[in-house]
Amino acid sequence: MRPRRSGFTLLEILISVAVFSIILVIMLSVVSSTSTLTRRANDNISAYQAARGAFDRLAANLSQATLNTYWDYDNPALPNKYLRMSELHFLVGQAGTAPFPGTPGTGQALFFQAPLGVSATPAGRTMSGLLNTCGYFIEYGDTEALPAPFPAAAPRYRYRLMQTLDVSENLEVYKPASPADWLSGKAWISTASAVPIAENVIYLAVWPRKSPADDPQGTALTGTNGFSYNSRLDAGLIAQPATAHQMPPVIQITMVVLDETTAAKACLSSTPPSSIAGASGGLFVTPKADEFAADLEKLQTNLANARLNYRVFSALIAIRESKME
């Protein structure tokens, strides 16, 4: 009698292969999902880190803002009294509202001069006290196209925090025939050098104010002008306002940033998405502490309701040169 051989039947082998294939597909699916989630998490962390770095850079440059204020006669030919004077300028205004660049509804644009020592020549870079015009604003749009012969890339629409930092050789503060021509001629606002320093920044609130201890509601400097500040406004009056040729003691900066995954899903065309643009509509009109807090909470609620993931950076930046009481 021949011994019986043990082994697998064809049906058992087919079932085993099928089970193994199912397990392999499940494992590959889990690995793929984990990889996708990890990549998205890394992208989001990188986006927030870039925004944090840009926020710190803005704060560092802004803290060095200067006006080099001095006292002089109001009229050299027929002097009446001394007035504060300055050839420099500090300006805050609504982004996208002339003469300020940027996308409307993204908060404020900010321009000032500071001794940042940025020069176009190696010799100039050794002189740290050289003045530069510096500015920040948010702009929505596509990335800048590469020149020929590079092929055209697919559009990548995003909100971007822009920084303009002119080298000292391009500082045109003394160029206009009259200092008053700065604002009308926009000679001081040069956006040719503007570059993005962070993506997915959707709102930048710039609030010039006194310290919370001296002015709890924050209305002493801006008041009816909203969040705007112009160091030359009414500076020629005999009774100069407190803001004339003076720096505000404190600037409150609040920046709202989306994560990359959220931004990629929302920013799909050349028009700012309504879910983002509408979130801040009607908010941040009055510079008053309790209203600002309520508006910020409302903005966060609107973003959350639209299923937009975000992060808020905020700080009170002391202006070193300010001598305002």
Tens-place pLDDT, residues 232-266: 888 888 888 888 999 999 999 999 999 998 999 99
With cut-offs at 50, 70 and 90, classify the pLDDT of residue 279. Answer: very high
Question: Half-sphere exposure of 172 toward its Cβ, with a 13 Å CA cutoff?
Answer: 16
Does some domain include residue 2? Answer: no
- Residue 187, pLDDT score: 46
2-33, pLDDT tens digit by residue? 555 566 677 777 788 888 888 888 887 777 66
Residue 34, pLDDT above cutoff 70: no
- In whole angstroms, give the CA distance from residue 147 to residue 179: 38
**At which residue do the structure tokens 């050794």 appear?**
126
Share of residues in the chain with pLDDT > 90 (%): 44
Considering 209-223, 237-251, 289-303, the range whose residues carry the highest mean pLDDT is 289-303
Please classify residue 271 by burial: count the beta carbons closer than 10 Å to its beta carbon, then call 0-12 exposed, 13-18 middle and 19+ buried: exposed
Amino acid code (one letter) for 65: A
Question: Quick one: pLDDT at residue 80?
Answer: 83
Cα-Cα-Cα-Cα dihedral of 121, 127, 131, 137, to 10°? Answer: 70
| Residue bearing the bigger pLDDT, 190 or 196 | 196
Report residue 54 as tokens: 């840009």
pLDDT of residue 138: 96
* Residue among 24, 106, 31, 61 at smallest CA distance from 277: 106
Q: Which residues contact 176 (CB under 8 A, 6 or more apart)?
A: 182, 185, 187
The pLDDT value recorded for residue 157 is 94
Which structure tokens are listed for 228?
């705007």
Residue length of the chain: 325
pLDDT at 176 over 60: no
Residue 17, domain member (yes or no): no
Cα(3)–Cα(5) distance, integer angstroms? 6
Residue type, 149: P
Please indicate, yes or no, if residue 90 is contained in any of the structural domains.
Answer: yes
Tokens standing for residue 143: 């990335």
Q: What is the largest CA-CA distance in the chain?
A: 135
Does 323 map to a domain?
no
Q: What is the pLDDT of residue 200?
A: 95
CA–CA gap between residue 117 and residue 66 (Å, rounded): 13
CB within 8 A of 281, min separation 6: which ones? 105
Q: What pLDDT shows up at residue 58?
A: 96
Pairing of strands 158-165, 229-230: unpaired
pLDDT number for residue 180: 44
Tokens of residue 128, six digits: 């740290």
Give pTM, 2 decimals.
0.82
In a domain, 324, yes or no: no
Segments forming the whole domain that contains residue 312: 24-144+156-318
Are 105 and 277 in contact by the 8 Å Cβ rule? The answer is yes
Domain count, the chain: 1
pLDDT band, very low/low/confident/very high, at 119 (cuts 50, 70, 90): confident
Quick one: tokens of 46?
A: 């990188």
Beta bridge partners of residue 209, listed in sequence order: 250
Domain membership flag for residue 10:
no
- Across the range 37-48, mean pLDDT stands at 62
What confidence tier does 298 reach under pLDDT thresholds 50, 70, 90?
very high
Tell me if 5 is assigned to some domain.
no
**pLDDT for res 193:** 76
Confirm whether 1 is domain-assigned: no
Higher pLDDT, 39 or 73: 73
